Amino acid sequence: MSKGSEEIFKKVISHAKEYGFVFQSSEIYDGLSSVYDYGQNGVLLKNNIKNYWWRSMVQLNDNVVGIDSAIFMHPDVWRASGHIDAFNDPLIDNKDSKKRYRADVLVEEYAEKLLQKADKEVRKAALRFGDSFDAELYRETNSRVVDYLKRADSALSRFSLALNSDDLKAARQVIIDEKITCPVSGSSNWTEIRQFNLMFGTKIGSVAEGATDLFLRPETAQGIFVNFLNVFKSGRMKIPFGIAQIGKAFRNEIVARQFIFRMREFEQMEMQFFIMPGSEIKWFEHWKASRLNWHKSLGFDHENYRYHNHENLAHYANAAVDIEYKFPFGFKELEGIHSRTDFDLKQHSKYSGKKLQVFNPDKNENFTPSVIETSIGLDRMFLSILSECLEEETLEDETSRVVLRLPHALAPNQAAILPLMKKDGLPEYSKKIYDELKINFQLMFDSKDAIGKRYRRQDAIGTPLCITIDHETLNDDTVTIRDRDSMGQKRVKVADLYSIIKDLTSIERLLKKL
């Protein structure tokens, strides 16, 4: 991470804590590594993100329904899904720094650096050659650029080939051959690579002898697969259709740094779309485009999103793409779209002995549907939004303010009600407005400190509107309404407040853009 990006990331983390968005779990006991709690503003923002996802997925798609399955599942689920055998990360230690890494991440970051070097060469050449510059041709012919691209490609493909064939020695050799060093010690004194299973184990039952070993689910998807027939029958569904779910997942991550980007307990928003075999590519492309559009509808810089095709396909997938977001520490996976074939349903049929098939009347036969999955980490989405929206703005009078430019519909509070002074009946009048509007909106009431200070507090937590009640209000039932982004103020009637807030902050506005 460059110094500048590190600074930005540190600011995001400290802002999240200072303003009640995210706290370290069990902080008074010195914290629990890579586990976080959401504070009073964080939980509101998180719920709004969930709402945006849920409503766009379940409410706007006629053929998608939602469920909420249990975290505990029968242990055979994880045998059938392949998690017991294959939900591993390749782990490697640097003997000098004693730091532990995911070997695949080391290689990916190495390749990413080479790609960035190639891009830099192309940008430099573009400046040198001006309008006549052909970037594509330059990529194909400039020896330095070609070399960077080749090295990146070779490292990634050698590594993924080695991992796919379970050859950990060959995988380690890629790290040695490419002279990949530890970012802390700078040395390439590496241990062997070992596979490490990421599932947390626990037990159900009161006596040790009778207890059954269980796992905390590492993804929400399996709860959907095992309920496939239940939903299909009880909802009278027709292929194609989808089942969506939001819920907690648990992974004993090896390297759990980077704040809420990689946690040991996190939340996923997943949707499994069941389709006719043979239509995988059509639906894969559909959901790939649809999900990117969902992100872009938030109105953030489109340059901060990109697709990344998987080199190393999971055991169940025949096509996979990530939507990556440019976090302060670089482009990283935010969401995955996977074509999972009929793997999951067939595996669960095999292990449970229950037929998970549907009838095709055209062909007069039963078949196992294929699945396209969209899977997004809620916490990563939260982090991408905080990183995108946090801004230190220099104002015209050379002072500065910290403002969280959240999409209006996602802001923890839609408006703040601020009596200008704590006397002359202003607080009482303000409270009346507050009580009337709080039925429809999440509001803040703040009467402490000078008004300027209160505006800044609301800017910092992203409140789109500040409503100030002053002496004029008592005479003519008007208030000042201040816009977070422009800081512009205007006088409006109290009677119009409901429609003004609704117009600006309702989630329908976001949904209409989809």
| Residue whose C-alpha is closest to residue 213's, from 347, 78, 70 | 78
Residue closer to ligand ATP by CB (options 323, 406) is 323
Residue nearest to ligand ATP (CB): 377
Cα dihedral 71, 77, 79, 81 in deg (nearest 10): -90
Measured CA to CA, the distance from residue 198 to residue 256 in angstroms comes to: 12
**Token match 């939903």: residue?**
231
* In the complex, minimum distance from the CB of residue 249 to ligand ATP, in angstroms, rounded to a whole number: 7
* In the complex, minimum distance from the CB of residue 92 to ligand ATP, in angstroms, rounded to a whole number: 16
* In the complex, minimum distance from the CB of residue 161 to ligand ATP, in angstroms, rounded to a whole number: 18
**Token match 């095992």: residue?**
226
- The contact set with ligand ATP (CB under 6 A) reads 219, 251, 253, 262-263, 266, 268, 333-336, 375-377, 379-380
Measured CA to CA, the distance from residue 427 to residue 430 in angstroms comes to: 5
Residue closer to ligand ATP by CB (options 170, 256) is 256
* In the complex, minimum distance from the CB of residue 200 to ligand ATP, in angstroms, rounded to a whole number: 12
| Residue whose C-alpha is closest to residue 121's, from 143, 104, 105 | 143
* In the complex, minimum distance from the CB of residue 254 to ligand ATP, in angstroms, rounded to a whole number: 10
* In the complex, minimum distance from the CB of residue 218 to ligand ATP, in angstroms, rounded to a whole number: 8
Measured CA to CA, the distance from residue 277 to residue 280 in angstroms comes to: 7
Residue closer to ligand ATP by CB (options 15, 251) is 251
Q: What angle do CA 11, 12, 17 make, to 5 degrees?
A: 95
**Token match 């080695």: residue?**
162
Residue closer to ligand ATP by CB (options 314, 500) is 314
Residue closer to ligand ATP by CB (options 251, 457) is 251
Residue closer to ligand ATP by CB (options 263, 271) is 263
* In the complex, minimum distance from the CB of residue 280 to ligand ATP, in angstroms, rounded to a whole number: 18
Distance of CA 79 to the CA centre of its chain: 27
* In the complex, minimum distance from the CB of residue 141 to ligand ATP, in angstroms, rounded to a whole number: 34
Residue closer to ligand ATP by CB (options 12, 469) is 12
Structure tokens that stand for 488 in this block = 């512009």
Structure tokens that stand for 450 in this block = 């000078």
Is residue 363 packed enough to be buried (19+ CB in 10 Å), middle (13-18) or exposed (0-12)?
exposed
3-state secondary structure 104-147: HHHHHHHHHHHHHHHHHHHHHHHHHHHHHCCHHHHHHHCHHHHH
Q: Which residues of 239-263 are buried (b: 16+ CB within 10 A; e: fewer)?
A: bbbbbbbbbebbbbbbeeebbbbbb
* In the complex, minimum distance from the CB of residue 480 to ligand ATP, in angstroms, rounded to a whole number: 41
Residue closer to ligand ATP by CB (options 285, 333) is 333
Residue closer to ligand ATP by CB (options 200, 367) is 200
